[in-house]
Amino acid sequence: MSLKDIAVKLDSGPVPGSSETTGLAVALLREVADHLNTVSQGGDRQVVELTNLPLSDGDLQLLEEKLGRGEVEARINAAGPTEVFETAYPGVWWVKYLGEDDRVITQQLEIGTVPMILEAHREDIQASARQFPSTFDELDPKQQ
């Protein structure tokens, strides 16, 4: 007899995340609307953290449905993959920080011109400014 031979009956008990919606998605959409107003009037970037909210799978589905997909999609490789897409509403971005197995570690809605993970950072640009001349120095006949 193996483990498989032991019948296990599980009724439809709760699993963390169900297809039902909780009303939280609507509250979040209102929050996004507020943030959009702020940003459209020149305000700072706003971030809505989705990971720690008790959102059901149904809530997330509703959010994705209502926000839709826009023009930009990007995949970033830094400390594992990160996926970014602009929603149908310009300036509202969905950012998914993923682990190696593409499992979502944390996800956020960012409201602003461009998500922070996409931007090249000043320190990195300064480092490339220092290193870049080496790409043509070695090709320069005067140097050889």
Partner 1 sequence: MKEHDLTLGEELRRQGISRRSFLKFCAGVASSMAIPAAMVPAMADSLAQARRQSVIMMAYQECTGCLESLTRSFAPTLENLIFNFVSLDFQHTLQAAAGDQAIEAIQTAMEENWGKYLLLVDGSIPLKDDGIYSVSHGQSHLDSLRELSEGAAAIVSIGTCASFGGVGAANPNPTGAVGVDQIITDKPILNVPGCPPMPEVMTGVLTSFLAFGALPEVDRLKRPKAFFADTIHDRCYRRTFYDQGKFAYSFDDEGARKGWCLYPLGCKGPITHNACATLKFNQGVSWPIQSGHGCIGCSEPDFWDKEGFYKPLSAGQWGTAEGIAIAAAAGVALGAASAVMSRRNQDKISGGK
Which residues of the chain form contacts with partner 1 (CB under 8 A)? 9-16, 44-49, 51-52, 54, 76, 78-80, 82, 97, 99-100, 103, 105-106, 108, 116-117, 121, 123-124, 127
* Rounded Cα distance, 93 and 82, in Å: 13
Nearer residue to partner 1 within complex by CB, 54 or 141: 54
Residue 85: CB partners within 8 Å, gap ≥ 6? 69, 70, 72, 73, 74, 93, 94
- For residue 106, give the H/E element and its range: strand 104-111
Minimum Å gap between C-beta 16 and partner 1 is 5
Q: Shortest gap between Cβ of 6 and partner 1 (angstroms)?
A: 12
Q: Which is nearer to partner 1, 62 or 115 (CB)?
A: 115
Q: Minimum Å distance from CB 90 to partner 1?
A: 20
- Say if CB 48 and CB 35 are below 8 A apart: yes
